[in-house]
A = this chain, B = another copy of it.
Amino acid sequence: MEATTPLQDARDEFIAGWGTLGSSWGINRTMAQIHAFLLTSTRPLSTDEIMEALQISRGNAHGNIRELVGWTLIRSVIKKGERKEFFEAEKDVWKIACTIARERKRREIEPALEILKSCSDQTKDLKDKESKAFHAQMTELRDFVSLSGRALESAAKTEQSKILKVAARFIS
């Protein structure tokens, strides 16, 4: 039986919870767990350390690490004298949020806009009542999604302090 410390316990809870959470965000569980693990590490870690800690195979670790690098949520670090790669997570919460916002915009909002634009355009000259209703619905949706995307983009460009001010006004 392994002895556990309060820190280990809390960290394990975070890793497990973040993994579950990730699933409902369309992010795979292992990827979220690796992210959580690196996020709570005080030093860069190797693939083997990650495999060992999360009890996952090399292939699984490798692929999900690459995904996280692709999202720029983690980056690879080369230690002098060491041949292998180490990985560390971005720790700044605001930067993480901006990265995720941008990535989701690119992967979800932009494709959605393409579809809505196409649906709106295809029906813009039709005269019957049903077509007009459809066209109006698509146009409204497109405008809304487009606005949301632009707002997200702007927010991700703005300094954290400014966003906090606006947010504070809303909440109060």
Structural contact, B115 and A7, CB atoms closer than 8 A = no
B126 lies within 8 A of A7 (CB): yes
CB-defined contacts of A13 to chain B, threshold 8 Å: 115, 118-119, 122
Residue A78 is within 8 A (CB to CB) of chain B in the complex:
no
A60 within 8 A of B: no
Q: Which of A46-54, A62-70, A80-88, A148-156 contacts B (4 or more CB under 8 A)?
A: A148-156
Min Cβ gap A172→B in Å is 9
The minimal Cβ–Cβ distance linking A2 to chain B, given in whole angstroms, is 17
Contact in complex: A171, B144 (CB < 8 Å): no
Is A170 a contact of B144 with CB atoms below 8 Å?
A: no
How distant is the Cα of A23 from the Cα of B148 in the complex, in angstroms?
Answer: 19
Task: Decide yes or no whether A59 CB sits under 8 A from chain B.
Answer: no
**Contact present for A166 and B167 (CB under 8 Å):** no
A123 to B40, CA, bound (A): 13
Residues of B within 8 A of A45 (CB): none
Return chain B residues, CB-CB under 8 Å to A18.
Answer: 115
List 11 other contacts, CB 8 Å, given A6-B122, A147-B167.
A7-B134, A10-B122, A13-B119, A17-B119, A21-B115, A24-B108, A25-B26, A25-B108, A93-B140, A93-B141, A151-B171
The contact sample of 6 A-B pairs, CB cut-off 8 A, is A7-B131, A9-B122, A10-B123, A17-B115, A26-B26, A151-B170
